Amino acid sequence: MTKQRLNLGIIGAGMIGKVHAENLAFHIPTANVLMIADINEQAAHETAERCRIPKAVKDYQEIITHPDIDAVVICSSSNTHAQIIGEAAEAGKHIFCEKPIDYSLERIDRALALVEKHGVKLQVGFNRRFDPSFARVHQAVISGEIGEPHLLHIVSRDPEPPTPEYVKTSGGIFMDMTIHDFDMARYLIGKEVVEIYAAGGVRIDPEIGKAGDLDTILLLLKFEDGTLGTIDNSEKAVYGYDQRVEVFGSKGAIAIQNNYPNSAIISTEECIRRDKPLYFFIERYQESYIRELSSFIDAVLNDKPTPVSGLDGRVPVVMALAARKSYDENRPVKLLEIE
């Protein structure tokens, strides 16, 4: 493309759709959003008004068929992603899609085949890759700065659990929450995971268990090069959003801590304390959301590969399915068993 700005349509005006709409409207000058769609038409109109988007509609097909829209940003419910990817690809639209692509590998593969067939670009929304702190860990590992990696520890805990109603349609903790950590594991180490062992329980809300899910999990990962990793997830950290990583290697280690709203530390006779971490993902990863969409737009406008491919979107789903199988069967599961 020789355009200076990319014409986009946003499908979905829920929480993440609003985040992307605001970033595209106010922080990414190469973006030109022409339309937003949501089955909740009021939500679409409210977002359009706030973000100066010319048109809001209920039916996303108006975006798919619009001749002036070059690319779609899919922020609808997860169970619609694969279908919309396929439809957008057949219409010749480039695609940015939130995670996961789908819960089914068969549906994912059909969608990715259509993307390849029609020659459009696809980027999956694993925004943490674009966070400067995580990117620095990746750089330290890939460059050999800390030597050969031996151990990876990922801590990811939310400040509040989802509602049981949300859990019923989310795909479960492995597919909805841990999937970001699965992607981080691959990205940070630069190698593939070959085996997963998962332990978990319901420690926060019994209603989550009644909905068939877990709220507290611990996973052991084995990578193809022998690196070992752990992922520690909880859906309720009373002190805020807990996002920490450490990689220990043969020549040293690198670790990142939580982000805070300020750097003040209060020292008194009784204690030394500081304010809680940034509350949730919108606050913690604000910069990364801008960077990931900027990268997608740059890839389309300048005909570059997208930095998070369809395959990058597929593998964490395989990992999530392996983790659930491991928990259900109380044994380590090799990813080859899922393929």
Cα four-point dihedral sign 169, 171, 173, 176: negative
Rounded CA-CA distance 147/249 in Å is 5
Residue found under tokens 């493309």: 1
* pLDDT 10s digits, 35-77: 999 999 999 999 999 999 999 999 999 999 999 999 999 999 9
pTM: 0.96
Of 29, 17, 107, the residue nearest 317 (C-alpha): 107
Report pLDDT for 3. 76
Rounded CA-CA distance 175/98 in Å is 12
CATH 3.40.50.720 fits 6-120, yes or no: yes
Percent of the chain predicted with pLDDT > 90 = 96
Give me the mean pLDDT over the 275-298 stretch.
Answer: 96
Report pLDDT for 2. 61
- Contact by Cβ (8 Å): 196, 240: no
Q: What is the residue-averaged pLDDT of the chain?
A: 97
Q: Domain ranges in the chain?
A: 6-120, 129-286+316-337
Using N-to-C axis directions, what is the helix angle for 310-329 and 105-118, rounded to 10°? 170
Q: Residue 225 pLDDT > 80, yes or no?
A: yes
Report pLDDT for 28. 98
Give me the mean pLDDT over the 245-270 stretch.
Answer: 97
Rounded CA-CA distance 337/339 in Å is 6
Q: Residue 169 pLDDT > 90, yes or no?
A: no
49-60 burial: b if 16+ Cβ within 10 Å, else e: eebebebbbeeb
- Contact by Cβ (8 Å): 313, 125: no
CATH 3.30.360.10 fits 129-286+316-337, yes or no: yes
| Burial status of residue 267 (CB atoms within 10 A of its CB: 0-12, 13-18, 19 or more) | exposed
Residue found under tokens 């925004």: 127
Of 203, 171, 215, 112, the residue nearest 320 (C-alpha): 171
